[in-house]
Amino acid sequence: MSPSFQSVLDRIATEIAATPGRGRLADYIPVLASADPWRFGMAVAELDGTVYGVGDWQHPFSTQSITKVFTLALCLSREGEELWEHVGREPSGNPFNSLVQLEYEAGIPRNPFINAGALVVTDRLQTLTGDAAGTLRTFLRAESGNDRLGFNEQVATSEAAHSDRNAALAHFMASYGNITNPVPDLLDQYIRQCSLEASCADLARAAGFLARHGILADGSSLLTRSRAKQINAVMLTCGTYDAAGDFAHRVGLPGKSGVGGGIIAVVPGRCTLCVWSPGLDERGNSVAGVAALDRFTTLTGLSVF
Ligand code: GLN
């Protein structure tokens, strides 16, 4: 099947190019609004790290919330089950930056992939490592094989100037004792984390451990098979926020999106994918990205169902 990955990607790129409408750019982080909505790239990585790609698949973009998968894996591997006492694993059915459920659930966010949950995970990773964003960058460089992968200071500065909502989430959870580090320090780590730039090729490779049941690129183990399965399950149910049901219906794979227009997806035991196109739908997921993954699973028959 592997040689046909390239022809599937080529076909998808041709179809996407012929499709009008790309959605809207994220403009609440002003720098992201200057992206070109017509850019499109897609990559598939096999379990051994062999990558196939099309379009802008080697072009670095702002990873944003895609990083939430990797910080979750890094935190879970160090902390284990105790993490789940501080963050839930239920879909929120609300926008990714929503505050509303936190009061009803005593400062415990619904899941690690909405902003509130990711702030809790980054806070705990910061306490465990002393440098959450740096630990994440080291991990992504090692797993992608790209030593140049790094933070975009312009994106970080732009988000920092517009971080009132995330500050509110963090302070609110801190009032329940669910944030340990000083909120300004946590926001700094979280914003740096979100500012990491990587290409589709980088992210498809770096997510490989989720298709290899927790095994890293060098053959060592980050997560038990059971924990890798848990992360994939939370991606499927929560990875695309209040569109997770629609994404599961259309794509049928665990996936995680970011407002930079990227989405990663996992076919456990087979391959990992990353697609990027900056135009978003109203829920914050890439319009062309979801369409491309929808076509991929339809054309290949690869799905968890
Ligand atoms: N940095 C963004 C934020 O905190 C990430 C959101 C996203 O990609 N959905 O709002």
Q: What is the mean pLDDT of the chain?
A: 96
For the domain spanning 2-300, the CATH number is 3.40.710.10
Confidence of residue 177 (pLDDT cuts 50, 70, 90): very high
User: What's the confidence (pLDDT) of residue 1?
Assistant: 45
Residue 65 Cα to ligand 1 middle (Å): 5
- pLDDT tens profile 80-120: 999 999 999 999 999 999 999 999 999 999 999 999 999 99
Give the mutation target among 66, 99, 115, 264 for probing the ligand 1 site: most ligand atoms within 8 A of CB: 115
Chain mean position to CA 272 = 13
191-210: average pLDDT: 98
Residue 41 Cα to ligand 1 middle (Å): 20
Confidence of residue 21 (pLDDT cuts 50, 70, 90): confident
- pLDDT tens profile 246-272: 999 999 999 999 999 999 999 999 999
Per the annotation, the verdict on 241 as an active-site residue is: yes
Instruction: Please tell me what DSSP assigns to residue 247.
Output: H
Confidence of residue 36 (pLDDT cuts 50, 70, 90): very high
189-218: average pLDDT: 98
175-195: average pLDDT: 98
Note the pTM of the prediction, 2 decimals. Answer: 0.97
Per-residue pLDDT for 2 more than 70? no
- pLDDT tens profile 123-146: 999 999 999 999 999 999 999 999
User: What's the confidence (pLDDT) of residue 72?
Assistant: 98
What was the ipTM of the complex prediction?
0.94
Contacts of 7 (CB under 8 A, 6+ apart): none
Catalytic site residue from 68, 92, 98, 275? 68
State whether the beta carbon of 258 lies less than 6 angstroms from ligand 1: yes
State whether the beta carbon of 159 lies less than 6 angstroms from ligand 1: yes
Residue type, position 148, single letter: R
Classify 134 as helix, strand or coil: helix
The answer to whether the annotation marks 259 as part of a ligand binding site is yes
Per the annotation, the verdict on 259 as an active-site residue is: yes
Q: Which stretches within the chain are classed as H helix?
A: 2-17, 67-79, 100-104, 115-129, 132-144, 153-160, 164-175, 183-194, 200-206, 208-211, 225-238, 244-250, 287-300
